[in-house]
Structure 1
């Protein structure tokens, strides 16, 4: 689901116009911080781990930078788990590395996880990190003041990622179609650079690339994921093989995540400094991301794992995403998502927290 062709994306709009407006299009929060280079050797960072280590992948997204805090503040060790934390300059590379079994866990979206399952991957979501509430944006040059003004303009985005689909949703809501713009498919970092360089009129990117894009004189946000609530969820995803063999380590990872969020809440200045450095942006720039990413509490995690009939329920969202993949021709048949979610680790943490 990460690499749609333009034809598939356009077909999506004609077949699923309303679906795009209301359904979770959790495709990917891809790629690196604005001053980093994309790796050209997929899986190169996935060397053999030390005995007993958990190999965890993450990439540039505000909802995943807390893992850097976990590492630097010894929170993994405090929870008795050894972690080989692997930074990926390219989000897509991290997905492929997990699918290949070269890491044990990854930070990725619901949509990309379901998409991986269509190719035969056996993966498990054990935690909700966050929802995007504005950190995915469509940014435009001076003189473009409405979505209608995008007609005939050059608009860049990484094809098939969440920001491409955010763009499509915005177009549809304004009564436009993909063929009304000149779509320029570029990797996210290159898309932001092309916009700053004046090569395109608009760009769809996620934080921290939003900071880079907004450096263009006269540029501004046209719309964001804030206008499409619940559209982008991000998760801690393990291979099923690892979960079955190491439930104690999975529990320790979930415990570490919530301990990290507690640390960030109690020590915001120190934590933000760590996350801003990993993001490659200033502390002040990083603080601007706060309202654009909703970090899930334990209560919100428990609720998300419950069955439901709207997109706030992960099981409902996964089923709808499976249908979506099939309808647009990206999967021959809908994958079985009945075993995708495993809430026992979140529940166990909640019980421990309640007793504490």
Structure 2
């Protein structure tokens, strides 16, 4: 698979990061990541980059997993991704990565849809199209547990998120697991029912901006600029005034929907509009428990690498503690930059 090719490439890259003045970050379409598109196009990212004397290029990648692969391969300094994918792709590939911005958690934005059936148990025996080994896979497994089924009771069909809507429109495809805005579009199709979603496992699918740890250490100004830009964008879009409506309308259009559609997606997203809200989760014991749960799932599905002897093979450093091997920490939640934002020190 292309993801593993990227991991092999990442391992061959130099591990020495140096101070620089030009950086690239990538993002893919998702309700919680559209603010990066808005911030780039409205000059907010450039404003903060200029403040710290650097250049930041913000690039959209149409395929979500491909965006993470490119980050893992060193083509980008930072990338939007979920907590599970950060563990199982860059961290598992040996790329020490840091969650710089904890943006939100999915509270209904990821789901399982069936065609012609109205309950999750009906999925038994079906083929399910999803991005294999992604949070959609994780969501499906958690849902199956809730109805006494396992992945052995169905067939997973790996499908790019870029192709999901078109494939679901064919007669042969009767079950998918995906995320918004694809989820909303698919659910709105005739004879389609969302039978399980992330609101049933709140706080487990977390949306992040992940940055190369060594790059961040060598370039703290990059961390300050990105976090400063993010919370300026949050302050605009969270408002009910014209500026807030215009910002959300811009994000809606960029993601292929309208304002009503985008606000519907926001309604099923627990957005952290302030750094204080993000820090509540980042510093919590709940995050420690969630990442242990995610690591166990990842190990059970072979996502931590062939040589991983257990779920704790990769150390995950969090404010509340470290899960796994403290001698092999490859994934970190660093609250320091969000704390600076909360204290007005950026």
Shared fold, TM over 0.5? yes
- Counterpart pick for 1:130 among 104, 108, 121: 104
- Counterpart pick for 2:213 among 210, 216, 240: 240
Q: In the alignment, which residue of structure 2 is the partner of 1:27?
A: none
Q: In the alignment, which residue of structure 2 is the partner of 1:57?
A: 26
- Counterpart pick for 2:334 among 329, 337, 342: 342
1:123, CA displacement in angstroms? 1.3
- What secondary structure is seen at the aligned counterpart in 2 of 1:85? strand
Q: Does 1:291 align with 2:264?
A: no
- What secondary structure is seen at the aligned counterpart in 2 of 1:294? strand
Is this contact kept in 2: 1:76–1:82, CA < 8 A? no
Q: Hey, what's the Cα distance between the residues in 2 that align with 1:279 and 1:169?
A: 28
Is this contact kept in 2: 1:132–1:293, CA < 8 A? yes
Q: Would the alpha carbon gap of residues 182 and 124 (structure 1) be closer, same or farther in structure 2, given more than 3 Å must change? A: closer
Judging by fraction of residues, say which structure has more strand. Answer: 2
- What secondary structure is seen at the aligned counterpart in 2 of 1:289? helix
Please, which runs of 5 or more residues in structure 1 have no aligned partner?
5-50
> Could you tell me the TM-score, scaled by structure 1's length?
0.78
1:126, CA displacement in angstroms? 1.5
1:326, CA displacement in angstroms? 3.8
Within 5 Å, which residues of 2 pair with 1:220-239?
A: 220-239=193-212
- Counterpart pick for 2:92 among 94, 97, 118: 118
Q: Hey, what's the Cα distance between the residues in 2 that align with 1:183 and 1:323?
A: 20
> Could you tell me the TM-score, scaled by structure 2's length?
0.80
Q: Hey, what's the Cα distance between the residues in 1 that align with 2:27 and 2:47?
A: 20
Within 5 Å, which residues of 2 pair with 1:201-350?
A: 201-266=174-239, 267-296=243-272, 297-306=274-283, 308=285, 312-313=286-287, 315-330=288-303, 331=305, 332-333=307-308, 334-338=313-317, 340-350=332-342
Q: In the alignment, which residue of structure 2 is the partner of 1:74?
A: 43
Q: Would the alpha carbon gap of residues 199 and 268 (structure 1) be closer, same or farther in structure 2, given more than 3 Å must change? A: farther
1:3, CA displacement in angstroms? 6.8
Q: In the alignment, which residue of structure 2 is the partner of 1:97?
A: 70
Q: Would the alpha carbon gap of residues 117 and 184 (structure 1) be closer, same or farther in structure 2, given more than 3 Å must change? A: closer
Q: In the alignment, which residue of structure 2 is the partner of 1:47?
A: none
- What secondary structure is seen at the aligned counterpart in 1 of 2:103? strand
Q: Hey, what's the Cα distance between the residues in 2 that align with 1:67 and 1:250?
A: 15
Residues 217-265 of structure 1, C-alpha deviations (whole Å, 9 max, x = no match) = 1212212111111120011111122111210221111011011000112
Give the RMSD, CA atoms, in angstroms.
2.4
Q: In the alignment, which residue of structure 2 is the partner of 1:147?
A: 120
For structure 1, which segment, 57-66 or 216-225, has the greater mean C-alpha deviation from structure 2 after superposition? 216-225
Q: Would the alpha carbon gap of residues 70 and 113 (structure 1) be closer, same or farther in structure 2, given more than 3 Å must change? A: same
- Counterpart pick for 1:177 among 129, 145, 150: 150
For structure 1, which segment, 235-244 or 326-335, has the greater mean C-alpha deviation from structure 2 after superposition? 326-335
1:290, CA displacement in angstroms? 1.5
- What secondary structure is seen at the aligned counterpart in 2 of 1:285? helix
Q: Hey, what's the Cα distance between the residues in 2 that align with 1:283 and 1:302?
A: 29
- What secondary structure is seen at the aligned counterpart in 2 of 1:352? coil
Q: Hey, what's the Cα distance between the residues in 2 that align with 1:182 and 1:117?
A: 28
1:67, CA displacement in angstroms? 0.6
1:119, CA displacement in angstroms? 1.7
Q: Hey, what's the Cα distance between the residues in 2 that align with 1:307 and 1:193?
A: 40
- What secondary structure is seen at the aligned counterpart in 1 of 2:238? helix
Q: Hey, what's the Cα distance between the residues in 2 that align with 1:289 and 1:307?
A: 26
For structure 1, which segment, 225-234 or 281-290, has the greater mean C-alpha deviation from structure 2 after superposition? 281-290
Q: Hey, what's the Cα distance between the residues in 1 that align with 2:145 and 2:293?
A: 20
